Structure formats: C-alpha cells, structure tokens
Amino acid sequence: MFFKVLSDTDHVENFDCGNKDLNIFLIKNALNYQKSFVSKTYLLHNQNTIYGFYSISATLIEQQQTDIRWPKHPLPAVLLGRLAVDLKYQKQHLGSLLFAHACKNTVEVANTIGCVALITEAKNQNAFNFYSKFGMKPFKNKQDTLYLKIKNIIKVLNP
Ligand SMILES: CC(C)(COP(=O)(O)OP(=O)(O)OC[C@H]1O[C@@H](n2cnc3c(N)ncnc32)[C@H](O)[C@@H]1OP(=O)(O)O)[C@@H](O)C(=O)NCCC(=O)NCCS
C-alpha cells in the first residue's frame, strides 16, 4: 500500500466512500483542482486499487477562533478539504493512515513557509467524531470547523 499524488493515469472512476459529494470530487474535480494549483490530492493505493484519498490546500484562519494567543491577525493554515476511504476498506485504520500522511505534509508546509495548524470542516457527526479522535478541537464560534495546532502535530509525529 502506497501514497501517491493523483495523476491522469489513475483509475478513480469506481471509488465509492458512501458520500456522493466526496465521490464526485475525486472522480470529476480533483485533477482539475490540482492542475489549477487549488488543492493537491493524495491517493492511498496499490496498483489499480484505490483505498482512499485526501485533498489539502492553503487557507487562512481567524486567530480568535483558536487558543493561539499571538499574533492577533489571520494566520496561515493547511485545509484538509476532503478525506475518504472506500466503503470496502473502512474501519481498517486506513482513514487514520490518510490523516497521519496529511499531518506529515502539514509539517512540511510549516517547515517550508510557515503555518500554524491543520484545519478541516466536519461535514457530519461521523466526521466530527472521527477527527476528534486525533485531538482536533472545534473553533470557538464555529463548532464544525476543527483544528490541530502544528505544535501538537509535531509532538505526536516525533514523540
Ligand atoms: C470517516 C472515514 C474517513 C473513517 O475512515 P476509516 O478508515 O473507517 O477510519 P479508521 O479505521 O482509521 O478509524 C480511526 C478511528 O476513528 C474511529 N471512527 C471511524 N469512523 C468513525 C465514525 N463514523 N464515528 C466515530 N468514530 C469513528 C474508529 O473507531 C477508529 O478509532 P479507534 O482507533 O479507537 O478504533 C470513513 O468512514 C469515510 O470515508 N467516510 C465517508 C467520508 C467522510 O465522511 N469523510 C470525512 C469528512 S471529509
């Protein structure tokens, strides 16, 4: 099982995570987003089997939504826009593997140009519960947006 960046030659057309919007994103939009530098999509795959994917991009967050005290202006972050595992392979810790890979990429961004957190929008209660397992905390005034500070990611990745 390997990670790779999505490319023209990947057969993503049969991917089904049970969420229509996420399926359509991977099958129809992800490559165009990537070619336009809007987001980058990573696949967890083995030859022609696509186990799961996630997409990340750059974003800005409001400092006062978090427990970050300084500086008091919008702060750079990485947005985990989408993450999904094919129905056939759910509950086998592949979602966790995808999340850990997104964390590693976030640390790369932090070390290269600076960013303070990984954030995501939980589209439903299941997603909220899933992300909470990794220590993600809700924004103060926007409970479905969750963040994990870079300092905590680094601590987890380098115990
Ligand atoms: C959410 C999703 C990515 C989880 O993937 P997965 O491979 O099944 O998750 P994992 O096996 O890595 O589970 C990791 C942990 O989260 C928990 N978990 C997984 N799905 C959960 C859910 N729906 N509710 C609560 N906890 C959940 C698991 O029990 C596990 O905890 P444990 O280590 O204590 O056992 C997958 O169910 C999915 O693709 N769903 C549809 C798309 C979606 O909702 N994406 C997220 C929003 S963009």
Residue 158 is predicted with a pLDDT of 80
Quick one: pLDDT at residue 157? 86
pLDDT single digits (tens) 85-134: 999 999 999 999 999 999 999 999 999 999 999 999 999 999 999 999 99
Q: Which two tokens stand for residue 45?
A: 């795959």
Rounded to an integer, what distance in angstroms lies between the CA atom of residue 61 and that of residue 117? 9
Instruction: Tell me the CA–centroid distance for residue 118 and ligand 1, in Å.
Output: 18
pLDDT bracket for residue 159 (50, 70, 90)? low
**Cα end-to-end span (Å), the chain:** 25
CATH number at residue 94: 3.40.630.30
* The model's pTM: 0.95
Parallel, antiparallel, or unpaired for β 137-139 and 117-121? unpaired
DSSP summary character for residue 40? E
| Mean pLDDT, residues 60-79 taken together | 96
Residue 104 CB–ligand 1 contact under 6 Å: no
Q: Supply the residue whose CA is at minimum distance from atom 37 of ligand 1.
A: 90
The most distant pair of C-alpha atoms in the chain lies apart, rounded to whole Å, by 47
- Judge if the beta carbon of residue 83 lies within 6 A of ligand 1: yes
Q: What is the mean pLDDT of residues 30-42?
A: 98
- Three-state secondary structure call for residue 104: helix
Full domain range(s) for residue 102 = 2-157
Number of domains in the chain: 1
| Ligand 1 midpoint to CA 65 (Å) | 25
Identify the pLDDT of residue 27: 98
Has residue 46 got a pLDDT over 90?
yes
Ligand 1 near 146 CB (within 6 A): no
Provide the b/e sequence for 94-131 (b: ≥16 CB within 10 Å).
Answer: bbebbbebbbebbbebbeeeebbbbbbbbeeeebbebb
**What are the structure tokens assigned to 137, written together?**
């905390």
Rounded Cα gap, residues 122 and 143, in angstroms = 9
Q: Is 19 helix (H, G, I), strand (E, B) or coil?
A: coil
